[in-house]
Each structure stands twice: as structure tokens, then as C-alpha cells.
Amino acid sequence: KAGVTQTPRYLIKTRGQQVTLSCSPISGHRSVSWYQQTPGQGLQFLFEYFSETQRNKGNFPGRFSGRQFSNSRSEMNVSTLELGDSALYLCASSLDGLAGFTDTQYFGPGTRLTVL
Amino acid sequence: QKEVEQNSGPLSVPEGAIASLNCTYSDRGSQSFFWYRQYSGKSPELIMFIYSNGDKEDGRFTAQLNKASQYVSLLIRDSQPSDSATYLCAVIGSGNTPLVFGKGTRLSVIA
């Protein structure tokens, strides 16, 4: 079974631009969660989508948004990029997501975003 | 604010020794506990999960959970240089809450 895929793998943007990242979950998984990872803050939860609905949201500004399509693929968007948005953005998929405490998340390879 | 705490390390152990990684969490109602391994420049990969008090073994890895003490640990037996990585503890708390990660412990196994 193919794993979680993310595109693009690397991105370089300048301040003020916007960016869209894509995530394709493992076949059959309906939940997609997004995380931001930086050396100082570690892995921080952005949001979770399940069946095209945002089910949970972390403490990030409204510049960070996402959506999920009927095939469970998900995108996240960051508008008006800031230098501090430079990070590794990871998506993780699972069968049922956060509704089931026995559910297990599997991570994609990540997108490394650099904001200049 | 639900928190997961880990010693950042580095934790250095000789090859063949037992590495012990520890994690504490603040939400007493937490239900599920996960250990992920992350190599430098790579994404986290799941090692194992544990839901019930006690020990759970999987090959060279043993997870230990003590809900009363709000403590979960990971033991790696016969440590190998290939085990050198950052180990992330993650917890699903009470209610429909997101997975909360600790900042990880960096393990270095010396040949």
C-alpha cells in the first residue's frame, strides 16, 4: 500500500506571497492532519480534516487554512507569508482521525518551506 | 494547555546497551500514547503505541505506561548506531483533541 505523499517537497517563497501544499493520504484513510515543525517549537498541530470537514484546529493565525476533497486529498494554504513560516510542513493520515483514540497517524515526507 | 514533556538530550549510550527514553504528560485523561522516531531531515515514523497501563513489547522496543504517574517511557534493547535519531512522544488527550507531541529526545548510540 502506498504511503502518504506530499507535494512539493521543497519550496522557496518570499515574504508576502502565498503558498499551497498538497497531501494525498494512504488509500482508505479519511482523516488528514497537518503539522508545522520547527527546531524551536517542535511539531505543532495545525488542523485536521475528516470527510471534507475541518474537525479540529490548532492555535495558528487565520493565514493558515486548509481543505479536503471528496477523495480525501488535502491542501493547506498559507497567505501573506512571513519569515517565521519557514518550517517543515507535515501531513499525516489515519483511518478515522481524532474521533478514535486507537487511531494511528502515518506521516508523509513533508514539504520544506523557506520564506526569504 | 495540554503538555507533553521530554528531555531534549542528547542521550548517549554505547552500542548494545539499553536506551531509556522518558515522557510525561499533563492531561490526566489522556488515552493513547505513541512513540515516533525521526531521523534528521526525515518525517516521523511510528515505532509503537500503548493504551493500557503496563508494558508492551515489540522486538527490541518496550513501551511502558503508568497513568497514575502520567508517565510513559520507551526502552530500546541492544541499541544500534542505526537507532540514533530523535524520538518523539505523542499523546491523545481527553475528549476529541489533537495529537500533542513532545519536542523529542535526541538519542546517539556510540559504536
Backbone φ, ψ for residue A81 (5° rounding):
-60, 145
Q: Mean pLDDT, to the nearest integer, of A64-76?
A: 97
pLDDT in tens, chain B (111 residues): 679 999 988 999 999 999 999 999 999 988 889 999 999 989 999 999 998 899 999 999 999 999 999 999 999 999 999 999 999 999 988 776 778 899 999 999 999
pLDDT attached to residue A101: 61
pLDDT attached to residue A1: 66
d(CA A86, CA A115): 5
Q: Mean pLDDT, to the nearest integer, of A15-23?
A: 98
A30, three cell numbers: 479519511
- Strand A10-13 relative to strand A111-115, pairing: parallel
d(CA A74, CA A32): 7
Chain B interface disruption, residue of A5, A21, A29, A43, most B CBs within 10 A = A43
Find chain B residues with C-beta within 8 A of A108's C-beta.
Answer: 43
On the question of pLDDT at A98 being above 90, the answer is no
pLDDT attached to residue A84: 95
Q: Enumerate residues 6+ apart whose C-beta is below 8 A from A39.
A: none
Select from B51, B90, B101 the Cβ nearest to the Cβ of A102.
B51
Chain A interface disruption, residue of B97, B99, B103, most A CBs within 10 A = B99
Strands (E) across chain A are located at 5-7, 10-13, 19-24, 31-38, 42-50, 53-57, 64-68, 74-78, 87-94, 106-107, 111-115
Q: Mean pLDDT, to the nearest integer, of A58-62?
A: 93
Select from B36, B45, B96 the Cβ nearest to the Cβ of A98.
B96
CA neighbor of B2 nearest in space, from A59, A104, A31, A85: A59
B93/A contact by beta carbon, under 8 A? no
How many angstroms separate the CA of residue A71 from the nearest CA in chain B?
A: 22
Q: Mean pLDDT, to the nearest integer, of A71-100?
A: 90
A56/B contact by beta carbon, under 8 A? yes
Q: How confident is the model at residue A111 (pLDDT cuts 50, 70, 90)?
A: very high
